[in-house]
Amino acid sequence: MISFNQTSVVSHDGATILHPFSLQLTEQRIAVIGANGSGKSTLARLINGLVEPTSGVVTIEAADTSAPPLDTVTDGAAVRRAVGFVFTDPAAQLIMPTVIEDVELSLRREHRDAAERRRAALAALARFGLDGFAERSVHALSGGQQQLLAIATVLATGPRILVTDEPTTLLDLRNTRIIGDLLTSLPQQVVIVTHNLELAARADRALVVDRGRIVYDGEAASAISHYRDRVAAA
């Protein structure tokens, strides 16, 4: 479970990015939709501590549910192990020369032994059909393959929650479908920030963010209808 309690974000120059809000996210698939600059990406970054709240708190349920929840500020390292984050552009997180090296880099904490780390990395690639690309340069992959690799690299560490920020924006229709099918089939709780309303419609719950406020929170189809109405009325 992800909890926001009177959470707000204000920029260094005093502009309010997210007005105070409180909610709990318990569903398996949550979509976050809204216009550019609405604050939805900031909301996503609050979940794993990439952005810290100016006021209020953000917590995630601990793996041991009898333990106190993890605070994204005071328990930052534990939160980042539990919450994986996938950026819009996979180039932002694919930093090693080859595919296998990139996955191995993410596994350095879990597997100190190089041989074990290589086996775990190959298993992670095989899970997403990328094992045949292990020695290939990350720059030689297609856009869809790069996004798959970025997701594989994050999931290899075993996070309980996956947050994705516009994961299909740079992809063609075929790869958009592949990534969408993957995200909606994962066992993890997944939060998807997206402009792709077809993908958002596959969520169990959707939030509509507008000018730093959550203006609708409910079933995905209703949230999308609400968003379309706001756009049409603007």
The reported pTM is 0.91
Amino acid 23: pLDDT: 96
Quote the strand ranges of the chain, DSSP E: 2-10, 16-25, 29-34, 55-60, 70-71, 83-86, 161-165, 189-193, 205-210, 213-218
Amino acid 41: pLDDT: 95
Amino acid 171: pLDDT: 87
Amino acid 199: pLDDT: 95
Where residue 186 sits, what CATH number does that domain have?
A: 3.40.50.300
Amino acid 197: pLDDT: 95
Tell which phi-psi region holds residue 84, choosing left (phi > 0), alpha (psi between -120 and 50) or beta: beta
Amino acid 66: pLDDT: 86
Tell which phi-psi region holds residue 217, choosing left (phi > 0), alpha (psi between -120 and 50) or beta: beta
Amino acid 127: pLDDT: 86
Amino acid 63: pLDDT: 85
H-helix segments, 108-170: 114-127, 143-155
Range of the domain at 114: 2-233
β 161-165/189-193 pair status: parallel
Mean pLDDT by runs of 10 across the 234 residues of the chain is: 97 95 97 95 96 97 90 95 92 89 88 88 89 90 89 91 93 89 94 96 97 97 95 83
Q: Total domain count for the chain? A: 1
